[in-house]
Amino acid sequence: DRLPALLCAMPKAELHMHIEGSLEPELIFALAQRNGVAIPYASVDELRQAYAFTNLQSFLDIYYAGASVLLKEQDFYDMAWAYLERAAADNVVRTEMFFDPQTHTARGVDVKVVIDGLHRACVDAEATLGVSAALILCFLRHLSEEDAFETLEQALPHRDKFIGVGLDSSEVGHPPEKFAKVFGRCRELGLHLVAHAGEEGPPAYVWSALDVLKVERVDHGVQSARDPALMARLAQDRIPLTVCPLSNLKLCVFPDLKAHNLGTLLDAGLVATVNSDDPAYFGGYMNENFLQTFAATGLTAQHAWQLAANSFEGSFIDDAAKAGYV
C-alpha cells in the first residue's frame, strides 16, 4: 500500500496551527529553567501525563499554563523554529501560524517581543528550510471585544509582520458576533479574516462567522455537517474548513477517528483541509494527522490529492505564487 508514502511525500499547506500549541514538554521545561519560571509539574513525563483532555476547556487550561514560560524574543523564535523544522520534515511548503498575543501581554510581555521573535523565525524558514511562513493574530474570545481592540492597537505598528486575524479560545458562550466591530475594523485595514467556529459550538456560530464577521475561512467547522443549508452555503462559496482530526479526537469532538466526518465534508464538495492545531498537545504534526485519519476512515489517494489542492486553494499566498503550487 503506497498511500502512506503519498500522504507524507505530497507538498501541502498548513492553515490551522497555534504556535503556542507546538511547544513540546521538553522545550517548556528548558524555557522554564532558562527564564526562572516555576511550573506546577515535576518532570517532562508528569507534564505529558496531564495531557488527557475531555473537552476544549480542559485543554486550554493546560495550554495557557504551558505558554507561561515564554518571556523573551528568543523564546518565541526558538518555539517557532522548532515547529518550522517539523513542518519542513512533513513536506509542508506553506504554513499560516496563529499566535495569541493576549496570552503574553497579560503577563507583561510586549507584543513587539512576541511578533519580532515569531517573524524572525518565519524569515529564516523561508531562507533555509524553503517553507513559506506567515502569521495570523488571534483574539481570545473569552475576553472582551474592548480587549481585542486594545490588542489590535498594540499590534498595528507591526502590521507588516502578520497577514490576518482570527478568533480562538473557549467557543461556547462566546459567539462570533461578540467581535463584530473589531473584525469590521480589521476588514477595513485589509487584513485577512478567519475564525474558529463549529468546533464545539453550533452551526449558528458558523453562520455568524460568515455573515457577521465575513471570514474567508472557518477554523474547524465540523459541526456544519448538522445543517444542510450551511453545507450548501460553504460549498457554493468555496469557504475552506480547516479541519484538525487529531485535535477533534483528543478533545472528544468525535469518539474515534473512524467517526470523523472529514470524508463527508470532502464528498459534499467542501474545501476541507487537514491541519495539526496544537501538535505538541494532540499527538502529531501534519503527516501524523494525515496517516492516522486515512488509516481509520478509508479515505483514498483521490481524497489525498483533493486535500493537498484544497490547502493551497485555501491559503493566503498571493495569486502568482498560488499558481505555482496548484
Tell whether residue 278 is among the known ligand binding residues.
yes
Interface residue with ligand ES4, options 242, 247, 289, 310 (CB under 6 A)? 247
Angle ∠(161,164,117) on CA atoms, nearest 5? 30
Which of 304, 321, 313 lies closest to 271, judged by CA? 313
- Residue 103 site contact among Zn ion, ligand ES4, none (CB < 5 to 8 Å, cut-off depends on kind): none
Any idea what DSSP says for residue 277? B
Task: Please state the closest distance from residue 97 (CB atom) to Zn ion, in A.
Answer: 11
CA atoms lying within 13 Å on the CB side of residue 305: 4
DSSP 158-208: GGGG--EEEEES--TT--GGGGHHHHHHHHHTT-EEEEEESSSS-HHHHHH
What is the 8-class DSSP label of residue 95?
E
Pick the binder of ligand ES4 from 75, 96, 168, 288 (CB under 6 A). 168
Say how far apart CA 67 and CA 37 lie, in whole Å. 11
Q: Which residues of 42-72 are buried (b: 16+ CB within 10 A; e: fewer)?
A: eeeeebeebbebeebeebbebbbebbbbbbe
Is 16 assigned a ligand-binding role in the annotation?
Answer: yes
Q: Which is nearer to Zn ion, 90 or 277 (CB)?
A: 277
- Other CB atoms within 10 Å distance of the CB of residue 304: 18
**Least CB distance from residue 226 to ligand ES4, whole Å?**
19
Return d(Cα 316, Cα 26) in angstroms, integer: 32
From Zn ion, ligand ES4, none, interface partner of 288 (C-beta below 5 to 8 A by class): none
Count of residues in contact with ligand ES4, rule CB under 6 A: 11
Task: Using CB under 6 A, pick the residue from 278, 286, 299, 315 that binds ligand ES4.
Answer: 278
Check whether 260 is labelled as a binding-site residue.
Answer: no
Residue tagged 517548556 (cell numbers) = 28
How near is the Cβ of 228 to ligand ES4 at its closest, in Å? 25
- Binding segment toward Zn ion, per CB under 5 A, in 169-177, 223-231, 275-283, 285-293: 275-283
Q: How far is the CB of 168 from ligand ES4 (least distance, A)?
A: 3
Which of 14, 199, 200, 288 does the annotation list as catalytic? 199
What does 273 interact with, of Zn ion, ligand ES4, none (CB < 5 to 8 A by kind)? none
Identify which of residues 78 and 277 has a Cβ nearer to Zn ion in the complex: 277
196 assigned ligand-binding residue: yes
Residue 18 among known ligand-binding residues? yes
**In what helix (H) or strand (E) does residue 16 lie, and over which residues does it extend?**
strand 12-18
Output the smallest distance, CB 119 to ligand ES4, in A. Answer: 20
Are the C-beta atoms of 75 and 27 separated by less than 8 Å?
Answer: no
**Selection from 117, 34, 106 nearest residue 82 by Cα:** 117
Residue carrying the nine cell digits 507584543: 111
The only residue of 210, 277, 303, 314 in contact with Zn ion, by rule CB under 5 A: 277
Distance between CA 132 and CA 113 in Å, rounded? 21
Q: Specify the residue, 59 or 325, whose C-beta has the smaller distance to Zn ion.
A: 59
Partner whose binding site includes residue 56, from ligand ES4, Zn ion, none (CB under 5 to 8 Å by kind):
ligand ES4
Number of residues that bind Zn ion (CB under 5 A): 1
Task: Decide: is 96 part of the binding site for Zn ion (CB under 5 A).
Answer: no
The answer to whether 216 is a known catalytic residue is no
Residue positions annotated with a catalytic role = 199
List residues binding ligand ES4 (CB under 6 A): 18, 21, 56, 63, 168-169, 196, 199, 247, 277-278
Q: Where do contacts with Zn ion occur on this chain (CB under 5 A)?
A: 277
Binding residues for Zn(2+), by number, are 16, 18, 196, 277
